[in-house]
Chains A and B, each alone.
Chain A
Amino acid sequence: MLPAECSRRLVAELRDALDSCAERQRQLEQSLRVSRRLLRVWEPAETPAPEPTLGPEINEEAPSSACPPSPQDLKELELLTQALEKAVRVRKGLSKAGEGVKVPSLKSGSASTATKASAPPSTSRCTGSRAPETKPPRGVHHPWVPAKDLPGHRLLLVGDGAHMGQGAGANKTEAGLRDQQIVPQAASQVPEAFTLKDKGALLRLPEAFRKAASQNARLWAQLSSMQTGDSADAAAAAATAKTQFLQKMQTAAGLPGSMLSTAEVGRLQKACSMLRLRMREELTQGFTQEARGYFTPLAGAWEKQPWVVSPVLAAVVEQPQGLWAEGAPRAALPCGGGADPVWSPQLLLYSSTQELQTLAALRLRVAMLDQQVHLEKVLMAELLPLLREQEPLGRPWLALCRAAHCLLCEGGQHFLTVLQDESADRLSPP
């Protein structure tokens, strides 16, 4: 058994590692859920929100070109939107009320069609894929239900500039909209189901969202430019005021000065790894090469290197007391030392799924290795002193040694065998 303090620290470290893994897993599973659902057939009840985009923007590959809509079109769109919004409200009321509720007609002229559309909500949802027998339930559930009176069926999608709404107002507006060039996507079939694979290229983002997104980008750009290239008097004055304030705080202080920030720690860790690797290279070179025999001066020079043994670090190495706050949050170490405080849009371009998968796998592998290196250092720091201190008296020590070897040298995966020389007994099975 390991001593209590040691146990606590090691278990805490491993738990930390497990928790961070679990958190990633949780996020990944959430993303997977969303992505899988998007690639399935979209439930009719969850179809894209009605959106009065201007002009017929249907295309498959061609860039959209919105021709200016006529006032007539706008008016009709307006009517449609209102009808649809009301339909949504009604649907909400319906789903609350349960099944079998008749759809109230929106306009007097189509009472018949409305009553026909009283298929219970559950059925319509279940028939996500084609159910050509049943009359398509009307717009309450299906914003793009083709009006049955039309020759052929037209399937209109978001952004196409019009929607087949409730059977009820649809007939009137249908006639008007027929003039517009609304290209039916599905030729003569009535696939009510929407799949991303087939019709994904026809989606369009809502106007309100687009506006908000572009304003967002604009504001971030403004903030970023304020951050970087600012030479305005106000900013300079503020900067001096801030420095003065900080100095005043420091001089009136009762506690010792600043400690290492996490960014500096990150940089020093990197320096450490670099030096270690360089040292390894040197030490493994044969000593026979004269040119490599300069280790002595190297050692001497290294001790005086200001860029590594910075004043702060010197303080760290010599006086570790009083500089660490207990329970200091072990914040994430940014990779280069300090992420950009102001967000800016950064793109990562990939060209094939294979490429993306390779990239993602590598990224995870690097993260895992990073964690492994950290854990290895922690384990070394805890277990090796224990083994050194204890007298190699008997089985307990041997067992500990063997287990430590497994953890430290084999990544916890393989065990070595210890054989006792004098007798036929074997201390531990392979």
Chain B
Amino acid sequence: MGRRRRRRPDPADAARALPEAIAALSRTLPAAPSPEIFRRAKFDRPEAAPALWRLLFRVLSPLPADGALASLALEAQARWVKSALRSQGYPRRALVQLPDEGSQGGRELLLALAWLLARGPLPERLLTQSHVRLGDEMPVCEALASPGLPAPGVEAEGCVDIRHLQWLTGKLRLRWRNLMAGQQEQCALLGKIHSYTRGCHSDRSLGHLSVTETELLRDPEGGRQLLQLLETENARLEAALEWRRRELVFWQWMDTVLDACSPEDSPPMFLPRIPEPEAGVAGLLARELQALQEELREAAEARRAAWQATVGGHGPEWRAARRALQAAVAQDLAALQRSWEQDEGRARPHGPHRLVRTEARVPGGPGLRAAEVTEALRAREACLEAVLCQLQGQCRQELARLAGARPGLIWVPPPTR
């Protein structure tokens, strides 16, 4: 769209505002349909639905859009979108009830898109995800990145022997070892490339080229492609800025769309599938917390009984002692809470950082220092090792208890290394 800046309010402007806002949205979202589709969706026209299903799929999938995902059939994409939206807490049931083959429901899909847009900075997040990385990136904190989509074709295998699990665990260990060895080599190579290209970068704060930049010099064709990607991203960024400037009129329009929908019945007639109560990470977490609470109660009971036996009886001294203890507990918990909040509030660096090799020891300069990150990682390593150790200990106890029930057996633990 043009960058005409009209200062005086113009009735024609108002009429143009909505299409321009939608056009900006369409330009900034990846794989977005044309603005016309949005308009048709309001009126629930059938041609709008497939395009919007695909857009929602693209927007919701955490993985970059490559061939494998994009080629999933519309039906599969629709099902996945429904599941993803539900897991995010999407409130409208009408969407869940849309047919999977994807030919209906343009208006509902438009509402879903608007819901996602309203909840958070969606265009910005998408742009960050697909941002062209020019540097050698190293993520500072490591997240358990697991594929969001259930891998197709890996279906129920029936019963397996526990030895299969042992084999898989061994395979996993080996993969990690290989990974670590490869990583060391890569670091050595990076170090060389960075030091050989010292002084080449136009940006003085960087100083040297990254692999991507050096590669584009080595391979002009690749360089052209990279340039094209950059320019596309720039166009999308500009569209995002324009969207932010114009979005108010879009929300006013969405209000009318919502009003056009028939209200939903309140009692849910049925849920498409009964969800597994213990499914997923959150289920594990719930059980863990319950277990912790149990443990705490047990330990507390034992302690309380022993304590009362030791201290004994009632009386003013006992009451005073108890009060003192309660005060100590309150203090301790407050300290725990403070350290928790501190942890949360501290702006911890997230995400990938660009590696820069430098001799400079400017303390206040921008950027993280490797030494600091190493320290933080060591602390995290120690913490995780402690947790793992403790869990393993718990298992040992439990298994010993179970095995102890069976007399006549001697359990010889493996020799400690």
Contacts and interface: CB of A to CB of B under 8 A. Distances in A.
B337 A307 contact: yes
B173 A412 contact: yes
A412 B169 contact: yes
Nearest to A334: B143
Nearest 3 CB-CB pairings of A with B = A347-B367, A253-B91, A299-B300
Interface in A285-336: 287, 291, 293-303, 305, 307, 313, 316-317, 320-336
Given A223-B240, A324-B282, A360 B92 contact: no
Contact of B368 (A42, A253, A346): A346
28 contacts: A10-B165, A20-B144, A63-B199, A197-B196, A203-B200, A204-B202, A245-B115, A245-B258, A249-B111, A277-B386, A279-B292, A294-B328, A295-B300, A316-B286, A317-B289, A324-B276, A333-B144, A337-B344, A348-B353, A348-B355, A355-B371, A362-B381, A363-B139, A366-B377, A381-B287, A387-B402, A403-B165, A419-B409
Contact of B175 (A22, A200, A241, A316): A22
Contact of B402 (A209, A287, A326, A392): A392
Contact of B366 (A46, A244, A347): A347
A339 interface: yes
Contacts, number: 630
Contacts of A277: 383, 386-387, 390
Given A241-B248, A324-B283, A357-B188, 8 more contacts: A11-B168, A21-B179, A238-B244, A253-B92, A335-B348, A350-B358, A366-B377, A401-B399
Of listed A204, A257, A298, residue having the most chain B CB within 10 A = A298
B319 interface: no
Interface string A352-367: 1101111111111111
Given A259-B89, A348-B373, A392-B402, A380 B241 contact: no
Nearest to A417: B412
Nearest to B197: A200
A203 B193 CA distance: 12
Contact of B147 (A19, A245, A398): A19
Contacts of B151: 15, 19
A246 B328 contact: no
Interface string B224-256: 001100110110011011001101100110110
B99 interface: no
Nearest to A208: B227
Given A17-B172, A412-B170, A28 B202 contact: no
Interface stretch (A99-107, A125-133, A185-193, A265-273): A265-273
B144 A352 contact: no
A343 B353 CA distance: 11
A32 B121 contact: no
A360 B182 CA distance: 11
A34 B215 contact: yes
Given A205-B209, A343-B128, A373 B285 contact: no
Classify the interface of chain A: helix, strand, loop or mixed: helix
B94 interface: yes
Contact of A301 (B132, B197, B293, B330): B330
A158 B412 CA distance: 70
A403 B166 contact: yes
B129 to A, nearest CB: 9
B83 A325 contact: yes
Interface stretch (B40-48, B69-77, B303-311): B303-311
Nearest to B303: A295
Interface in A43-91: 46-49, 59-61, 63
Nearest to B198: A201
Contact of B179 (A28, A235, A406): A28
A119 interface: no
Interface string B194-211: 001111111011100101
A223 B162 contact: no
A73 B296 CA distance: 81
Given A277-B386, A403-B163, A409 B392 contact: yes
B87 interface: yes
Contact of A408 (B132, B395, B403): B395
